């Protein structure tokens, strides 16, 4: 341990870090990482004057040979009734000859000691094991939900064209009975109107201030964060949705359609409103699902740790599936009960860099 040191990444480290990244992950992933680097680390509205929150382990003498890196995404986090300084742990890699020598522990500790709440989402088996070893709170996996919109396409994918054609009518009938879409919930509340937008306006700041108290944990979703995450992103295109009750913004949603292994998928990346405003969330889900159907989506998918949103998804015909999204947290401040109120956490696929 004495021969290793951890400090913040410096601009002079770029060449060696990208060379190390290429060594660990290959040339293709290295080039895609270079293309999104400025957006992901420099343009984040929570990046401070000291630059990106990237930690580098190196041989201790003379800022020597780089052994590994831990990069994080800083955010403001609603945590037990107040906003705290937090970050998502993301890109971690260690040079081959340095593995098994405590470098990973040094990097994890430098990162988590720098923030009030450290968040690790979508962990690899090795990272998950290290989080557990360091006694982070294991709060995952984040529940996964899916809804079949085109049973024929899904059956063809799984059973081939002949088998799928035969099975599709039975599959559609069974899914319709077992996971029925109950449609918009009847409500005495005034009607909610949803429209697609090209960017989120400043009213999102007011929505955040009004709705955050309905959650025990949630990353701050103001206009600066949302537009950085979903409008400025250079390698993804998203559908952005706003829900209004009269003139008041009451919710937002983010979606994406993608071709994956011969099947068109629709991701519900985020649905954010007051947790108790079922009418707003239902209207947003209706708009997104209609858009998926127009786009030929075969299966809609979503992650949601929030129990209320999960119930909304189930009522609209989604059904739960196995989740690979492990989630660990370390808090260095009083959580004011947040760690015992996981059903009121708002964590979705749009959080961290899961859709990167």
* CA–CA gap between residue 150 and residue 8 (Å, rounded): 49
pLDDT of residue 272: 98
Query: Distance of CA 111 to CAs 8, 86, 91, Å?
Result: 10, 10, 12
The token pair at 92 is 């971690």
* CA–CA gap between residue 356 and residue 233 (Å, rounded): 9
Assign 2 to helix, strand or coil.
coil
pLDDT of residue 316: 95
Distance of CA 2 to the CA centre of its chain: 36
Parallel, antiparallel, or unpaired: how do β-strands 217-219 and 345-346 relate? parallel
pLDDT of residue 180: 65
For residues 265-298, one letter each, b for 16 or more C-beta atoms within 10 angstroms of the residue's C-beta and e for the rest, the string is bbbbbbbbbbbebbbbbbbbbbbbbebbeeeebb
pLDDT of residue 147: 96
250 contacts: CB under 8 Å, gap ≥ 6:
192, 207, 243, 244, 273, 274, 277, 280
pLDDT of residue 162: 45
Residues of the chain below pLDDT 50:
1, 162
The DSSP symbol for 337 reads T
pLDDT of residue 24: 72
- Ordered by where they begin, the domains of the chain are 4-138 (3.40.630.30), 144-322 (3.40.630.30)
248 contacts: CB under 8 Å, gap ≥ 6:
none
**Count of C-beta atoms within a 10 Å radius of residue 65:** 14
Assign 350 to helix, strand or coil.
coil
**SS3 track for 174-209:** HHHHHCCECCCCCCCCCCCEEEEECCCCCHHHHHHH
What does R_g of the chain's alpha carbons equal in angstroms?
Answer: 22
pLDDT of residue 26: 77
pLDDT of residue 296: 97
pLDDT of residue 104: 86
| Strands (DSSP E) found in 215-323 | 217-219, 239-245, 248-260, 263-273, 299-303, 319-321
pLDDT of residue 15: 81
174 contacts: CB under 8 Å, gap ≥ 6:
none
């Amino acid at each position: 341990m004495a021969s290793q040191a951890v400090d913040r990444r410096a601009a002079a480290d770029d060449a060696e870090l990208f060379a190390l990244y290429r060594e660990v992950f290959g040339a293709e992933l290295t080039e895609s990482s270079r293309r999104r680097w400025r957006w992901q680390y420099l343009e984040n509205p929570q990046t401070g004057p000291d630059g990106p929150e990237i930690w580098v382990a190196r041989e201790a003498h003379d800022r020597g040979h780089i052994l590994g890196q831990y990069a994080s995404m800083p955010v403001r986090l609603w945590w037990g009734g107040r906003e705290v300084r937090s970050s998502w742990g993301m890109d971690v890699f260690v040079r081959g000859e340095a593995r098994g020598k405590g470098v990973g522990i040094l990097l994890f500790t430098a990162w988590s000691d720098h923030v009030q709440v450290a968040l690790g989402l979508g962990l690899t088996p090795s990272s998950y094991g290290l989080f557990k070893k360091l006694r982070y709170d294991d709060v995952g996996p984040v529940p996964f939900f899916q809804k079949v919109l085109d049973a024929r396409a899904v059956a063809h994918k799984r059973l081939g064209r002949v088998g799928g054609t035969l099975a599709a009518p039975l599959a559609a009938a069974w899914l319709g009975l077992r996971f029925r879409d109950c449609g918009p919930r009847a409500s005495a509340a005034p009607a909610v109107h949803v429209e697609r937008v090209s960017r989120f306006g400043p009213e999102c700041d007011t929505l955040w201030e009004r709705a955050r108290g309905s959650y025990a944990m949630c990353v701050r979703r103001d206009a600066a964060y949302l537009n950085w995450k979903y409008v400025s992103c250079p390698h993804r295109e998203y559908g952005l949705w706003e829900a209004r009750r009269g003139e008041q913004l009451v919710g937002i949603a983010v979606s994406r359609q993608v071709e994956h292994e011969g099947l068109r998928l629709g991701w519900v990346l985020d649905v954010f409103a007051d947790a108790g405003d079922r009418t707003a969330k239902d209207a947003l889900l209706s708009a997104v699902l209609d858009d998926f159907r127009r786009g030929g989506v075969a299966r809609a998918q979503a992650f949601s740790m929030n129990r209320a949103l999960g119930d909304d998804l189930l009522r609209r015909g989604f059904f739960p599936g196995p989740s690979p999204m492990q989630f660990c947290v370390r808090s260095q401040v009083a959580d004011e009960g947040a760690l015992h109120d996981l059903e009121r956490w708002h964590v979705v696929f749009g959080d961290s860099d899961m859709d990167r």
